A and B are shown apart, each in its own frame.
Chain A
Amino acid sequence: MSELVFTVSEFVAVLNQTLEYAYPNVTVTGELANFRVSKGKWVYFDLKDEEATVRFFGTAYQLPGPLEDGMLLAVSGMPRLHSLYGFSVTVTGIRPTGAGSIKKAAQLLEAKLRVEGLFDPDRKRQLPYPPTHIGLVTSAESAAYRDFIKVLGARWGGLRISLVDVQVQGEAAPAQIVAAIEQLNAAGDPPDVLVVTRGGGSAEDLQAFSTEQVTRAVAASRIPTLLAIGHEVDISLAELAADQRASTPSNAAELLVPDRRAVLDRLDGLRRQLERDVRGVLDVARAGLKLSANSLHEYTARAARTARQNLELKTRLLAAYDPNAALQRGYALVRMDGGLIRSGKQLKEGDELHVSLSDARVTASVKKVTMDGGYERGR
């Protein structure tokens, strides 16, 4: 067996080729140590167990959220021998592993995002009720999807559902979920509500929904969001960032739309109310009309009464002017040549007078005219 001799550079190159061929991508689990971020961009850390330590190098963009030494991580990457700095693994993905570390990572991330205001109650928007177009981000193979669609269909119809089928767990899940949320937000006719859901699972299964990228994507959605991840007790960070949270996929459907049976009942009630209302308006109008009719009667009667009284008055007045009545009382009418005599100045001796009494006409002639005031003296 011949001995291989390399220059240093050759050795590094050959070793890297070998590593790339043998381990294009590996995942290493271990405890995080010496974690540091340089210039907000480069990330250096070690993973260790009782016996060994391995160095890792990556970018801040790949972090699932804030990390702390001591957390258990599963880090994927490509093993490399650097020509100056020695052996390290170039990171392609990081996720906390083990319930304790997942929880710890989530707590750190939650604290960071809470400070940023992503979970503020006043950011929460009202969901349209009911919506017409639902954007659905879930796994089309999942029970969560079937439950959601089934409950939705039982309660409400005529909805348009735009489904983006994504992986809801595993390494590819966060990027797919983020892309789906962005895709629906950018759609030409975007949905009026966005539902992101998956069924129950272990803390590890639900991890994608507590990653920083998914949480931020939910918070950034222009379309109002409804999230239902896992069971009632599991609250992911993405759910905290959502406008509304449902306890299960079925519950999401229940919150999203009313039950059509209840609405049909209500419509029946509204129909009766409309009938009552219109009858009410008509009754009021009818009562008003009756009142007007009564007033009209009254006005007419009053006018008739007044007219009658007027007539009586005039009749009496007329009777008072009747010359016959005066003749009856002993007065006489004196005429000459057809005209009434009102003054002695109209007369001279010998004039022929026609005197009317109540029961006779008398022809007389004037013997003498004395202009001395007449009636008062003649008494």
Chain B
Amino acid sequence: MVDMKEEDSYQSLNERLEFVLNRMQAPDIQVGEAVELYEEGLTLIALLEKHLKRAENKIEKLKSASV
């Protein structure tokens, strides 16, 4: 089980979730792994939801290097 945290980017969380979902479908999956992946999947979904519920985008105005 990979330890994902809230600070991880949306993309990396999403990629890991894709992996978990794919692995869950594998024909050779064992009960122990499935249960672990299930718990990890739920955690990932919760973290992703947290990401999504953040309302703000941060705008920084760069000092223009141009003329």
Enumerate chain A interface residues (CB-CB to B < 8 A): 128, 130, 132, 140, 149, 152-153, 156-166, 172, 175-176, 178-180, 182-184, 187, 260, 263-264, 267, 270-271, 273-275, 277-278, 281-282, 285
Contact = CB atoms under 8 A, between A and B. Distances in A.
Given A128-B11, A183-B66, A274 B42 contact: yes
Contacts of B56: 153, 157-158
Contacts of A187: 62
Which 5 A/B pairs are nearest by Cβ-Cβ distance?
A: A179-B66, A278-B38, A281-B34, A157-B54, A277-B24
B62 A157 contact: no
A259 to B, nearest CB: 10
Given A166-B66, A176-B64, A183-B66, A160 B58 contact: yes
A264 B67 CA distance: 44
A184 B62 CA distance: 9
A180 B66 contact: yes
11 contacts: A149-B57, A158-B54, A158-B57, A163-B62, A176-B67, A260-B53, A270-B45, A274-B24, A277-B34, A281-B24, A282-B35
Contact of A278 (B17, B24, B45, B55): B24
B53 A163 contact: no
B52 A163 contact: no
A165 B64 contact: yes
Nearest to B51: A158
Nearest to A129: B11
A266 to B, nearest CB: 10
A179 B11 CA distance: 30
Given A132-B11, A158-B57, 4 more contacts: A153-B56, A158-B56, A281-B24, A282-B35
A367 B64 CA distance: 143
A166 B64 contact: yes
Interface in B7-57: 9-11, 17, 20-21, 24-25, 29, 31, 34-35, 37-38, 41-42, 45, 48-49, 51-57
Given A176-B66, A267-B45, A157 B57 contact: yes
A281 B27 CA distance: 9
Nearest to B58: A160
Contacts of B58: 159-161
B59 interface: yes
A157 B24 contact: no
Interface residues of B, number: 35
A282 B10 contact: no
Given A157-B52, A158-B51, A163 B59 contact: yes
Nearest to B59: A161
A176 B41 CA distance: 47
A260 B15 CA distance: 17
A183 B38 contact: no
Contacts of B67: 172, 175-176, 179
B65 A162 contact: no
Nearest to A267: B45
Contacts of A282: 31, 34-35
Nearest to B52: A260
B61 interface: yes
Contact of A274 (B11, B21, B49): B21
B60 interface: yes
A183 B11 contact: no
A121 to B, nearest CB: 26
Nearest to A135: B62
A263 to B, nearest CB: 6
B59 A149 contact: yes
A153 B55 contact: yes
A223 to B, nearest CB: 14
Contact of B57 (A153, A172, A281): A153
Given A281-B24, A281-B34, A140 B54 contact: no
